[in-house]
């Protein structure tokens, strides 16, 4: 099927082809007949040999030969006879591989024979065959798989196989198969801490040297770059997971209310930031923990919460993530505050600490070993659980991102020292990381071909790795410098390699968000307190018209209640699930194309107002988040009651399943969706109102 030229049949060829076809048909028919009649004579076996030589993919013929081999084995008692019978099979495989070196059936026949362990294996012959095949095609992955099989079969030490990969790489740097095998062997040897492989730092320094040599030889070859990327990933992230942010933050003093204060002269102590906490409606106060990588295992015993408030035994930590996995960057628990004997002068303090624990582990299995401890104080104020949700928003909220933000009002609850909890955690290892990365940076700045896309990209990745390590220190100025340079590189890359434009745009968005939010001075330009009629003041962040395509660094936004992301190019809002205080979100004029892409919002209990206007919902038949979040197709959600409810109202479930799953899980009061293809679809409004009964304003008009 591969590599045959397209050409019209010539008459003389046709005759030859007919003859060849006739022979093949004949062989196929006879072999199948012998298979069905269980005829295992020498002659019959000879026919199958001929067939497999001509067409090694005829799998039933391989099965037939295995049956025949087993059948005939019963009549053999001498080792020599068995050996010669095995030899016959090995020869068939060799001839078949000559016809097609990538024949699955042929390779497996050989493994099957060896696995029978009927006679000692002639390893010289096996490795000889492999050498021959890998000489013809050094990338034949069947060959490499067979080599790994043989090495394991005869117990070749991994150190020796590692040497073999180096030989192959020296033959030709552009051998991705060899680099791949090297990465597998090396990580095994490091995990097992084998002799000579105790120091990851030493080994990785050597590997950096090896791969750099390859990259400088031919900067346009991909093989080494992927290996370099792996080394870089190993060098830039801390070995163990770390807590990098929380809400409330350490030392926070909060005055909490659940509704707008009747008069604004509440006499709260001035050191308290007052915040209207919408989740208080449900009688709960979220506590959010944010880690530098996804972790699992947060329980009342791995995270201790002490408070003069009676913290119930029923504290449950919940991972906030769109995928249904045990691991998450972000975890939340809800403190029950509904039954507080509330009096305005009472303060409660909460103390949270995570000790060294093997319960909290990252995906790679390393456990939490950076003990943290933080406290915050809150004062309940005006907690009233009677008011209905809909009463909160009397008039539809309108957004105007062209209006400049008031510069004098500073949002409450922002703490410039949010990162303080991790400052103490800079470890010995990051010193080595930084040194190693700096060496690489110097090297790549000198790469002669400065139009190599891989060189630029690697440089950008090195810079970001350095920036990430710096965030664990306090060198924010340096961090900004790294970001600045990386932004420039991504801009270059968009022109240099337009096919991957949107990859670079996603990367650029993350760097941009880092840059905007990494220090208070720059971040404050985007923050304000929004005072809306009949509504408590909301901590507001406005990141409009920045060409953002995705969201990052949400750990710096945990306190945000009103977020304006309109007029960007967002196609994903993953990460926003961490914003457990979000009440109003504007993502209008972006590129969101499905309701499954909005799944993060279903994790936010406080969300009331959502503007989705002028996106691409309903435009694209291919939904790229269909399998990212739980759906009936991924067997994480059964076709649910909501589906039936919709069917009763003649809503087409096959068309609207993602909208149904979304609106079933949110509790919006105001929704804008004009300017999406779905807005014109019949029944869509019915769907929204049916599944989201709290809705009051739809596209600016009152529903009731």
Stretch 467-506 residues interacting with other proteins (CB under 8 A): 498-503, 506
Kindly state the tokens that stand for 635.
Answer: 């067997």
Residue 247 C-beta: closest distance to other proteins, Å: 24
Instruction: Measure Cα distances from 489 to 30, 134, 482, 541 in Å.
Output: 65, 39, 11, 28
Q: Are the beta carbons of 545 and 293 closer than 8 angstroms?
A: no
Q: Give the C-alpha separation, 412 to 273, whole Å.
A: 5
Of the residues 632, 645, 665, 689, which one makes contact with other proteins according to CB under 8 A = 632
The answer to whether 99 contacts other proteins (rule: CB under 8 A) is no
Residues 222-261 that bind other proteins (CB under 8 A): 222-223, 226, 229-230, 233
Please give, one letter per residue, the 3-state secondary structure of 283-352. Answer: CEEEEEEEEEEEEECCCCCCCEEEECCCCCCCCCCEEECCCCCCCEEEEEEEEECCCCCCCCCCCEEEEE
CB closer to other proteins out of 123 and 633:
633
3-state class (DSSP) for residue 276? strand
Residue 104 C-beta: closest distance to other proteins, Å: 7
Q: Are the beta carbons of 321 and 270 closer than 8 angstroms?
A: no
For other proteins, which stretch binds (CB under 8 A), given 74-82, 418-426, 430-438, 642-650?
Answer: 642-650
CB closer to other proteins out of 60 and 367:
60
Residue 656 C-beta: closest distance to other proteins, Å: 10
Q: Give the C-alpha separation, 324 to 635, whole Å.
A: 11
Of the residues 10, 131, 141, 310, which one makes contact with other proteins according to CB under 8 A = 141
For residue 618, report the phi and psi dihedrals to the nearest 5 degrees. 95, -5
CA proximity to 628, closest of 652, 591, 659, 598: 598
Of the residues 82, 102, 108, 164, which one makes contact with other proteins according to CB under 8 A = 108
Angle between helix 453-471 and 428-445 (nearest 10) = 150
The answer to whether 13 contacts other proteins (rule: CB under 8 A) is no
For other proteins, which stretch binds (CB under 8 A), given 20-28, 575-583, 610-618, 677-685?
Answer: 20-28
Residue 96 C-beta: closest distance to other proteins, Å: 13
CB closer to other proteins out of 264 and 638:
638
Of the residues 91, 647, 686, 693, which one makes contact with other proteins according to CB under 8 A = 647
Q: Give the C-alpha separation, 30 to 45, whole Å.
A: 11
Residues 608-627 that bind other proteins (CB under 8 A): 620-622, 624-627
Q: Give the C-alpha separation, 283 to 650, whole Å.
A: 37
The answer to whether 136 contacts other proteins (rule: CB under 8 A) is no
CB closer to other proteins out of 145 and 398:
145
For other proteins, which stretch binds (CB under 8 A), given 23-31, 244-252, 339-347, 387-395?
Answer: 23-31
CB closer to other proteins out of 28 and 72:
28
Q: What is the DSSP-derived secondary structure letter of residue 373?
A: E
The answer to whether 58 contacts other proteins (rule: CB under 8 A) is yes
CB closer to other proteins out of 13 and 442:
13
Kindly state the tokens that stand for 518.
Answer: 């990494």
The answer to whether 139 contacts other proteins (rule: CB under 8 A) is yes
For other proteins, which stretch binds (CB under 8 A), given 19-27, 120-128, 343-351, 556-564?
Answer: 19-27
Q: What is the x/- site pattern for other proteins, positions 178-217, by CB under 8 A?
A: --xx-xx--x------------------------------
The answer to whether 321 contacts other proteins (rule: CB under 8 A) is yes
CB closer to other proteins out of 278 and 595:
595
Kindly state the tokens that stand for 670.
Answer: 């105001």
CB closer to other proteins out of 67 and 310:
67
The β-bridge relationship of strands 304-307 and 348-354 is antiparallel
Label residue 413 left, alpha or beta by phi (over 0 means left) and psi (-120 to 50 means alpha). Answer: left
Residue 258 C-beta: closest distance to other proteins, Å: 35
The answer to whether 4 contacts other proteins (rule: CB under 8 A) is yes
For other proteins, which stretch binds (CB under 8 A), given 274-282, 436-444, 479-487, 632-640?
Answer: 632-640
For other proteins, which stretch binds (CB under 8 A), given 38-46, 172-180, 472-480, 668-676?
Answer: 172-180
Of the residues 83, 102, 132, 148, which one makes contact with other proteins according to CB under 8 A = 148
Q: Give the C-alpha separation, 271 to 577, whole Å.
A: 29
Of the residues 131, 239, 324, 391, which one makes contact with other proteins according to CB under 8 A = 324
As a dihedral over the C-alpha atoms of residue 497, residue 498, residue 501, residue 503, rounded to 10 degrees, the angle is -40
The β-bridge relationship of strands 357-362 and 348-354 is unpaired
CB closer to other proteins out of 468 and 541:
468
CB closer to other proteins out of 66 and 480:
66
Of the residues 39, 53, 66, 427, which one makes contact with other proteins according to CB under 8 A = 66
Please give, one letter per residue, the 3-state secondary structure of 422-478. Answer: HHCCCCHHHHHHHHHHHHHHHHHHCCCCCCCHHHHHHHHHHHHHHHHHHHCCCCHHH
Of the residues 353, 534, 634, 686, which one makes contact with other proteins according to CB under 8 A = 634
Task: Provide the CB-side half-sphere exposure for 404 (13 A, CA).
Answer: 4
Q: Give the C-alpha separation, 696 to 393, whole Å.
A: 9
CB closer to other proteins out of 331 and 643:
643
Residue 16 C-beta: closest distance to other proteins, Å: 10
Kindly state the tokens that stand for 658.
Answer: 């993602």
The answer to whether 17 contacts other proteins (rule: CB under 8 A) is yes
Q: Work out the number of other CB atoms within 10 angstroms of the CB of residue 440.
A: 22
For residue 318, report the phi and psi dihedrals to the nearest 5 degrees. -120, 130
Kindly state the tokens that stand for 676.
Answer: 């999406």
CB closer to other proteins out of 200 and 626:
626
Q: Give the C-alpha separation, 366 to 511, whole Å.
A: 27
For residue 498, report the phi and psi dihedrals to the nearest 5 degrees. -60, -20
Distance of CA 330 to the CA centre of its chain: 14
Residue 464 C-beta: closest distance to other proteins, Å: 12
Q: Are the beta carbons of 405 and 526 closer than 8 angstroms?
A: yes
The answer to whether 55 contacts other proteins (rule: CB under 8 A) is yes
The answer to whether 676 contacts other proteins (rule: CB under 8 A) is no
The β-bridge relationship of strands 372-380 and 670-672 is unpaired
Residue 145 C-beta: closest distance to other proteins, Å: 6
Residues 390-419 that bind other proteins (CB under 8 A): none
Of the residues 524, 628, 689, 703, which one makes contact with other proteins according to CB under 8 A = 628
């Amino acid at each position: 099927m591969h590599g045959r030229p397209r050409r019209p049949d010539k008459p003389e060829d046709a005759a030859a082809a007919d003859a060849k076809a006739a022979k093949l048909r004949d062989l196929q028919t006879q072999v199948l007949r012998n298979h069905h009649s269980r005829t295992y004579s020498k002659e019959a076996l000879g026919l199958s040999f001929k067939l497999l030589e001509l067409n090694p993919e005829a799998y039933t013929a391989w099965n037939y030969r295995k049956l025949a081999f087993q059948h005939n084995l019963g009549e053999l008692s001498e080792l020599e006879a068995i050996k010669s019978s095995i030899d016959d099979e090995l020869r068939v495989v060799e001839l078949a591989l000559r016809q097609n070196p990538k024949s699955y059936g042929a390779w497996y026949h050989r493994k099957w024979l060896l696995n029978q362990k009927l006679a000692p294996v002639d390893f010289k012959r096996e490795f000889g065959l492999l050498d021959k095949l890998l000489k013809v095609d050094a990338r034949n992955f069947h060959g490499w798989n067979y080599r790994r099989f043989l090495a394991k079969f005869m117990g070749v030490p991994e150190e020796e196989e590692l040497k073999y990969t180096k030989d192959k790489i020296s033959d030709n740097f552009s051998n991705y198969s060899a680099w791949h095998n090297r990465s597998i062997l090396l990580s095994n040897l490091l995990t097992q801490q084998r002799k000579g492989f105790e120091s990851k730092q030493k080994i990785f320094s050597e590997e950096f040297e090896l791969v750099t040599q390859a990259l400088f030889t031919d900067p346009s070859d991909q093989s080494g770059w992927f290996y370099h990327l792996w080394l870089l990933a190993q060098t830039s992230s801390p070995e163990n997971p770390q807590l990098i942010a929380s809400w409330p933050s350490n030392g926070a003093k909060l005055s909490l209310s659940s509704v707008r204060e009747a008069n604004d002269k509440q006499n709260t102590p001035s050191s308290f930031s007052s915040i209207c906490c919408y989740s208080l409606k449900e009688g709960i106060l979220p506590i959010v923990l944010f880690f530098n990588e996804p972790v699992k295992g947060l329980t009342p015993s791995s995270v201790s919460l002490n408070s003069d408030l009676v913290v119930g035994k029923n504290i449950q930590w919940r991972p906030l993530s769109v995928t249904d996995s045990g691991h998450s960057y972000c975890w939340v628990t809800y403190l029950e505050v509904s039954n507080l004997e509330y009096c305005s002068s009472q303060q409660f303090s909460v103390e949270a600490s995570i000790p060294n624990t093997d319960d909290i582990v990252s995906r790679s299995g390393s456990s939490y070993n950076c003990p943290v401890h933080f406290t915050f104080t809150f004062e309940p104020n005006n907690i009233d659980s009677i008011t209905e949700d809909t009463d909160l928003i009397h008039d539809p909220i309108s957004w105007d991102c062209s209006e400049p933000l008031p510069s004098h009002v500073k949002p409450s609850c922002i703490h410039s020292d949010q990162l303080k909890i991790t400052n103490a955690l800079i470890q010995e290892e990051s010193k080595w990381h930084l040194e190693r990365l700096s060496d690489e940076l110097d090297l790549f700045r000198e790469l002669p071909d400065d139009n190599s896309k891989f060189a630029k990209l690697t440089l950008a990745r090195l810079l970001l790795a350095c920036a990430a390590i710096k965030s664990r220190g306090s060198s924010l100025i340096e961090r900004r410098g790294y970001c600045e340079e990386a932004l420039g590189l991504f801009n270059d890359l968009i022109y240099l390699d337009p096919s991957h434009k949107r990859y670079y745009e996603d990367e650029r968005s993350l760097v941009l968000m880092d840059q905007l939010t990494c220090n208070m001075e720059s971040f404050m330009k985007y923050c304000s307190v929004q005072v809306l009629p009949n509504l408590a003041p909301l901590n507001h962040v406005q990141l409009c018209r920045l060409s953002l395509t995705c969201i990052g660094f949400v750990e710096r936004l945990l306190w945000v209640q009103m977020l304006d992301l309109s007029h960007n190019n967002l196609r994903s809002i993953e990460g926003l699930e961490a914003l457990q205080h979000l009440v109003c979100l504007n993502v209008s004029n972006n590129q969101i194309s499905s309701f499954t892409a909005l799944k993060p919002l279903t994790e936010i209990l406080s969300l009331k107002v959502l503007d989705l206007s002028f996106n691409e919902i309903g435009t694209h038949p291919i939904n790229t988040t269909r399998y990212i979040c739980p759906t009936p197709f991924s067997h994480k959600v059964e076709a649910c009651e909501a589906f039936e409810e919709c069917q009763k109202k003649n809503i087409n479930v096959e068309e609207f399943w993602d909208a149904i799953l979304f609106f079933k899980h949110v509790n919006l009061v105001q929704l804008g969706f004009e300017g999406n293809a779905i807005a014109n679809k019949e029944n869509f409004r019915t769907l929204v109102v049916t599944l989201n009964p709290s809705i009051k304003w739809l596209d600016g008009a009152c529903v009731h």
